[in-house]
Structure 1
Amino acid sequence: MKLGFYARLTRTHARSQPGTIVSLFKPFYRVAKITAIGAISINKMRAVITINDLMDGAALAVFIDKSLCPELWAGAVVVKHNLPLIN
């Protein structure tokens, strides 16, 4: 399971009481990129890490080496998928 999201996103639309004006401060800076990656089994969540950047090959190697492999048992099967989320 891999989930990526941007921290501190601002809304593009606002609502206010009838007859009032919306006042909005929208910060002008780039937001942090955070990736969460994890592994689950039938019984429980096996390994989870978050990365303060986008996922790349080096980050995946660290996840596999430091988090996933210690949680595996003899005969375990690992299936990797990268399916888009469907709304």
Structure 2
Amino acid sequence: MGVLLGLTRTHARSDRGSRAYDFKPYYRGAKISVIGGISFKKVLAVMTLNGSMNGEAYKVFVEHFLLPQLWVGAVVVMDNLPAHKVEEIKPLIESVGASVLYLSPYSPEFNPIEHWWSQLKAFLKV
């Protein structure tokens, strides 16, 4: 997930009959990429980096943050981001007894972490 540090909310509440006003910063802010893994019970791993994510950064996340949290029988669900398809990623995950499931293209609604990302972005816009 990419986050611009200048995020602001696009909607606001006000008393009935009056308009809500606020200042919107012109500065969009630097881009921070957030990589994460969740289970049904908790956040397993999170890593941030400046700029965009690439395959090498994702491999570092998997090796150092995600693998220590996985268990035999865990299923890692990934979309079709090119960084997720780096050749070494799937064997790394399978080496701890977990399996990999790639989503079909254009189907983020089937990825549970997308709902978590939307909640996180809403929190950051406050």
The normalised TM-score by structure 2 is 0.45
Aligned to 1:15: none
Cα offset, 1:53, TM superposition: 1.4
Structure number with the bigger relative contact order (C-alpha 8 A, sep ≥ 6) is 1
Matching residue within 35, 38, 44 for 2:36: 38
AA partner of residue 45 (structure 1): V
Cα offset, 1:6, TM superposition: 1.8
Gaps of 5+ in 2: 9-24, 81-107, 115-126
What per-residue deviation string (whole Å, max 9, x for no partner) do you get for residues 23-79 of structure 1?
xx956xx84220011111011000001111101111100111111000001111111
Q: 1:42 to 1:59 in 2, by over 3 A?
A: same
Higher helix share: 2
Gaps of 5+ in 1: 11-24
Q: 1:1-87 maps to which residues of 2 (within 5 A)?
A: 3-8=1-6, 31-81=29-79, 83=108
AA partner of residue 45 (structure 2): A
Of all paired residues, the percent bearing the same amino acid is 46
2-side partners of 1:33 and 1:52: how far apart?
A: 6
Farther off after superposition, 40-49 or 74-83: 74-83
AA partner of residue 77 (structure 1): V
Cα offset, 1:8, TM superposition: 3.3
